[in-house]
Structure 1
Amino acid sequence: MKKLIAIVALTVLMSCANKKDRKIIEVAAFTGQQITGVTVSQNGRIFANFPRWRKGVTNAVVAVGEKGKAMPYPNTEWNSWKIGNPVSDSLFVAVQSVVAAKDKLYVIDTRNPEFKGVINNPRIFVFDLTTNQLAKTYVLPEDAYHKDSYINDIRIDLKNGTAYMTDSGHAGLVVLDLNSGNFKRVLDNHSSTLAEVDHLNFNGTSWNNTVHSDGIALDPKRELLYYHALTGYNLYAVPTNTLINGTEEQIQASVQLIKKTPAPDGMIFDSNNNLYLADLEKNGIVQLNVATGEMNVFAQGEKVKWADTFSIYDNELYYTNSRINEITGPINNMVFTINKIQLD
C-alpha cells in the first residue's frame, strides 16, 4: 500500500514538473524596448506593440518576421510620433494592445502617453491585413472614457459584431458596436472592475501599484466575457448578450464571480474550454478549466516574466514578457521577449 501511495505521489509530482518544464521557445527579443501586446493572425502573421510609457520608443506597432526581425507596421510614418508633438488620426500615440481577428488588426491607442492623462480621445485603429491599409477608425466619445482612463485590452466578438475593452486606469468596461460605431461604458467603478489591492509581491519585494480591470478573455461557446483586475485575485464573467443589450442595472446583476485566481495580466481561451491566465507573482501561467473549475500550473520559471498578453495560433500559446515589476530605472539594457509554448 505504501508503495502504491509513493508511486501515485511521484506521478503527481512528475505531472507538475512537466507542466512547469514545458519547452518554451523564444520567437523574438527586443533590447531597450518594452513590449506588451502580441497577436497572431489567421495566416500566422505576428504583430506586437510597445506602449509609450517613456521616451525612446522606436515603434508603437511592428510586424515580426523570420528570425524575430521586426518592421514598423503598417509603415514608418504611422510610428513616427514623439512625445510632445501634435497628434493626428494617422499616427500611433500610445498603443497598448494589438489583436488580430479574421482579416483585420485592431490597434488600441490609449492616447495616454507616460500615464499622464488622456491627451486626445482614445482610438481603435482597424487595419485590413490583406492590403495593410487603414480600414476604419473608432473614436471613443467623452462618455466612454475618463481623463485618467487607460483603455487596456480588447476582444473581438465576430458573431455579435462587438468589441469589448477593459479600462485599467479608471475601472470599467467599454462595449463597441462594430457596425454602428456606438460605444457604451459599463461597470464603471463597479466592485468587479476595481482593483482589490494596492500592490503585488514578487519574492518578498513589493510592487506598489493600483491597476483596475485589465485582463480580458472571450468565451464564444458559452457567450461569456471574463475579466480581472490586475491587482486583484477574483475572476469575473458577464454574459455577452447582457453586455450588448442590457441596461447598466441588468449588467451589474448578471456579473458572476467565477473563482479566486492568481493576479494575472494576459488571459485567453483555447478551443477546449481552458482559460489561460498569467500568474504574475510566481512567474507563471495557469490553466483553468472553466467547466470543472480545476486549475493547474501550465508553465513557470525564468522564461515567464510578467506574461502580459496571450495569443493562440496553430495550437501554440504566444505571450510577451513585459517584466513590469523589474523596472526601477532606465531599460536600455533590458531584454523583452515574445515566447511560445505548445498547448496540450
Structure 2
Amino acid sequence: MKSDTMDWNAVALAAGQVFVGGPRWTGFSGPSVAIVTKSKALAPFPTAEWNDWKPGLDATHRFVNVNALHVGPDGSLWVVDTGSPQFGGTIVKNGAKLVRINPMTGAVIRVYPFGADVAPDGSYIDDIRINGAHAYLTDAGKGALLVVDIESGSVRRVLDDNPATTVRQDRPIVVEGETVRISDDSPLHVNVDPLEVSPDGRTLYFGPLEGPWSQVPTAALDDPSVSRTSLAALVKPWADLPPIGGSIMDERGRLYYSVLANDTIYCRTPSGKTIKLLTDHRLHWADAPFLTKDGRLWFPVAQLDRLPVFQHGVSKIQKPFIIMSLPINP
C-alpha cells in the first residue's frame, strides 16, 4: 500500500476494511483518518467534515491531530486526537479527545473529551489500549497515563512526572547512526509512548519511546481510591527495550516491535527472549503496527525523522509512504 499525500503512522483493520491515520503536523494533504477504498484511494473517514478542521473551527467533532488508531475487543475503531495542530504546540479548545467509531457504518459512537485537567498544554496524548471497562492512554508530551472509564466517560491522569513515564536524558533516539534532533538542535526526547496490556488483562506495560519499559497492575490503575504514592510504589521495571517506532502484543504475550536504529522487527517472548523477525531498510521509522487474526503484522512506515522539523527545515522524505506486512511466523 502506498501514498504520496498521507504520512501515516497508524493502521488498523476492522470490518473487512483498512483504516490509516496520520498527524497533521507532518504537513501532508491527506485526511487525518482515511479508509482505503477498493481502488486503493484514501477516502476521509468517518466523514469529510471530521477531517476538515482549520484554525477557528470548532474542534469538538473534527480531528485536529490524529496520532493513533486502535481496534477494541468489540470491533470499534478508537481514534486518538492530540488536539495540537503543531508538534509540541498548544492544544486547541475541544481538540484533545478520544473518538469511538463504528467501522462498518462510520457512525460516531462517543467522543471522550480531554480537558486541561487531564491534558494540559504541553501534553501529546499518544497511544491507547483497551482493557475491559477501561481505556489507557499515554501522554508523550508531559509524561503521564490517562485512565478512561468507558461507560461513565470520566478520565483520570495518573503517574504524572513519575520516573517510569518520564524520558531519561541519556537515551537518545538514533536513526541511521544520527541522533534525531528538534529545531534548536537539542536531541528529541519522547516521554511515555508505547503501552500494552497483558493477555490476562492484569498488567499494563509502558515506557518512554526510548525505553526502558515498566509494569503496573491494572487493578490499581482502575481504582480511583488508590493514592498517587501507593500507585507509584506498585510500578516495577519490565523490559529494557531500545527506542522503538511501535509495538503490539499478541494473545500469547509476545511483544512485536520495530527498532528505529536498524529498521528491524523483533519479537520478545514472555520469557524475555528476543527474536529478530526481519530487517528491511524500507521499514524506516516503522510506526504503530496492527496484528491481524490470521497472523500478519502490518506496519505503517512514517519516516518521521526525515521530516523538516527534525532536519533543520529540509525534508528528506522519500516518497511514496508505504505500509508493509509480514507473517509473525515467517
User: Same fold by TM-score, threshold 0.5 exceeded?
Assistant: yes
Aligned counterpart, 1:343: 328
Say which SS state the counterpart of residue 53 (structure 1) adopts. Answer: helix
* Aligned-partner Cα distance in 2 for 1:51–1:258: 30
Aligned counterpart, 2:75: 103
Provide the TM-score with structure 1 as the length reference.
Answer: 0.85
* Aligned-partner Cα distance in 2 for 1:271–1:54: 33
Residues 167 and 214, structure 1, Cα contact 8 Å, conserved in 2: yes
Evaluate the alpha carbon distance shift between residue 35 and residue 136 of structure 1 in structure 2; reply closer, same or farther with a 3 A threshold: same
Match of 1:217 among 184, 190, 196: 196
Please tell me the residue identity of whatever aligns with 2:44: P
Note if 1:237 corresponds to 2:215.
Answer: yes
Higher strand share: 1
* Aligned-partner Cα distance in 2 for 1:315–1:44: 15
- Over alpha carbons, which structure has the higher Rg? 1
Aligned counterpart, 1:65: 37
Query: RMSD of the alignment, in Å?
Result: 1.8
Please tell me the residue identity of whatever aligns with 1:324: L
RCO higher in 1 or 2 (8 Å CA, sep ≥ 6)?
Answer: 1
Residues 32 and 332, structure 1, Cα contact 8 Å, conserved in 2: no
Q: Percent identity?
A: 25
Residues 50 and 57, structure 1, Cα contact 8 Å, conserved in 2: no
Aligned counterpart, 1:192: 164
Cα deviation, 1:164-202, whole Å, max 9, x if unaligned, reads 000111111100000111111111111011111363222
Aligned counterpart, 2:86: 114
Please tell me the residue identity of whatever aligns with 1:233: G
* Aligned-partner Cα distance in 1 for 2:155–2:4: 37
Evaluate the alpha carbon distance shift between residue 55 and residue 302 of structure 1 in structure 2; reply closer, same or farther with a 3 A threshold: closer
The correspondence of residues 1-344 of structure 1 with structure 2, limited to 5 A, is 28-41=1-14, 43-66=15-38, 68-82=40-54, 84-101=55-72, 102-115=74-87, 116-121=89-94, 122-157=96-131, 159=132, 161-197=133-169, 199-208=172-181, 209-221=188-200, 223-230=202-209, 232-245=210-223, 246-290=226-270, 292-313=271-292, 314-327=294-307, 328=311, 329-330=314-315, 334-344=319-329
Residues 8 and 20, structure 2, Cα contact 8 Å, conserved in 1: yes
Give the Å deviation of 1:134. 1.1
Please tell me the residue identity of whatever aligns with 2:207: H
Cα deviation, 1:63-83, whole Å, max 9, x if unaligned, reads 12346332111122211123x
Residues 287 and 300, structure 2, Cα contact 8 Å, conserved in 1: yes
* Aligned-partner Cα distance in 2 for 1:317–1:136: 28
Please tell me the residue identity of whatever aligns with 1:40: L
Higher helix share: 1
Aligned counterpart, 2:185: none
Please tell me the residue identity of whatever aligns with 1:278: S
Structure 2 runs not aligned, ≥5 long? 182-187
Provide the TM-score with structure 2 as the length reference.
Answer: 0.89
Please tell me the residue identity of whatever aligns with 1:99: H
Give the Å deviation of 1:268. 1.0
Please tell me the residue identity of whatever aligns with 2:56: N
* Aligned-partner Cα distance in 1 for 2:102–2:12: 15
Please tell me the residue identity of whatever aligns with 2:299: Y
Residues 32 and 334, structure 1, Cα contact 8 Å, conserved in 2: no
Give the Å deviation of 1:250. 2.3
Structure 1 runs not aligned, ≥5 long? 1-27
Evaluate the alpha carbon distance shift between residue 339 and residue 253 of structure 1 in structure 2; reply closer, same or farther with a 3 A threshold: same
Please tell me the residue identity of whatever aligns with 2:106: N
